[in-house]
Structure 1
Amino acid sequence: MPWLVVRTKPRQELRALQNLENQNIQVFLPMLTSSKVRRGKRVDIDEPMFPGYLFIQLTDTLENLHKVKHTFGVLSILRFGQKLAEVNDELIVELQKLNEQHSVRLKSAPEPGDKVTINDGPFKGFLAKVIKLDGASRCIVLLDWLNQQVSASVDYSQIEKNQG
């Protein structure tokens, strides 16, 4: 049986997953772990790889489609015109292997005290030290510029953590 794509209500993937599993429907929700900054501290958060979507495999399609459509947390079953959106079994198997072997990690945020190299922007090539996290995607770094300590706000994508 092919895997079908289910569209969930906003931020209700886990609710839909639980309710579908309670109906003995085979469900797969690929997750990944990402680092977010919350209240100035870095925390690891598990979140859906495809926000708003999960995959199901039905044994009796016609009977269960009605059940799925009326499950709490489910918005609809994805279709292309009258045809249900199907996902190749090999893709689901690969996603499941990836989930089982290790949690997928996004590039993590730096931590205060980390020594970094700036790879982009006006301070490209400078060595710096992270002194403070500034929101979800920026940090304040301290660097030597013209024999003075200067602080600058940079995006995480502009820096690379030094090894050692």
Structure 2
Amino acid sequence: MTDDPARRWYLAQIKPNAFQIAERNLRRQGFAVFAPTLAQTVRRMGRTIAEQRPLFPGYLFVGFAPETAPWRAINGTYGVSRLVSFSAAVPAEVPLAIVSGLIARCDDAARLLPPKVFAPGTEVQLIGGPFADFVATVEAMAPDRRVWVLLECMGQTARVAVPVEGLRAR
């Protein structure tokens, strides 16, 4: 996604409930689009469901070469509210290090991957299962990508094994 050396990244503000529309229309116009998502557990009607939610709700990254691309058309794209800018003349460029760092942390479908390892003593938040949104302390990492955490529940400390994908650094 960062293969074009002339490409720079900018931030587009999206209209409410128009994320897929804006993404589809920007891609049709030939712009590179990057919208990282994060797995979150939500409760609906008493059930726990894992969903992919935008990491930056209401925004997505748009990549183009400002010298050659018709970037002013982005502000008129259906689903896009505007390109973020601090002056009327040019949009604000997002530093390449930020975007390339995010791209490196995501898989091919732009899903944010969990950190590779957690150090003992690190506070983490559980993002899935019956203990979603609970805060725990990492005790150890097992070789099979399981993390042993200490979870405080009803005045007791419990030692629980959790897959690394089910944790988020706090």
Distance 2:68 2:81 in 1: 18
- 2:97 paired residue among 71, 90, 95: 90
Q: Distance in 1 between matches of 2:28 and 2:54?
A: 20
Counterpart selection for 1:29 from 31, 35, 41:
35
Bigger radius of gyration among the two: 1
| Greater than 4 Å deviation, 4+ residue runs | 60-63
Q: Classify 1:52/1:162 alpha carbon distance in 2 versus 1 (closer, same or farther; 3 Å).
A: same
Q: Which runs of 5+ in 2 are unaligned?
A: 1-6, 115-124, 132-150, 162-170
Please tell me whether the aligned partners of residues 8 and 66 of structure 2 are also in contact (alpha carbons under 8 angstroms).
no
Unaligned runs of 5+ in 1: 128-159
Counterpart CA distance in 2 for 1:161 and 1:88 is: 43
Matches within 5 A, 1:95-114: 95-100=102-107, 103-104=112-113, 107-111=126-130
Q: Provide the TM-score with structure 2 as the length reference.
A: 0.62
Aligned partner of 2:61 in structure 1 is 55
How many equivalent residue pairs?
A: 123
Map 1:7-156 onto structure 2 (within 5 A): 7-61=13-67, 64-82=70-88, 83-100=90-107, 103-104=112-113, 107-111=126-130, 117-118=152-153, 126-127=155-156
CA apart distance, 1:59: 2.6
In the aligned structure 2, how far is the partner of 1:33 from the partner of 1:58? 28
RMSD (Å), alpha carbons: 2.6
- Alpha-carbon shift at residue 24 of structure 1 (Å): 1.3
Relative to its length, the structure with more helix (as a share) is 1
Deviations 1:123-151 (A, max 9, x none): 6xx13xxxxxxxxxxxxxxxxxxxxxxxx
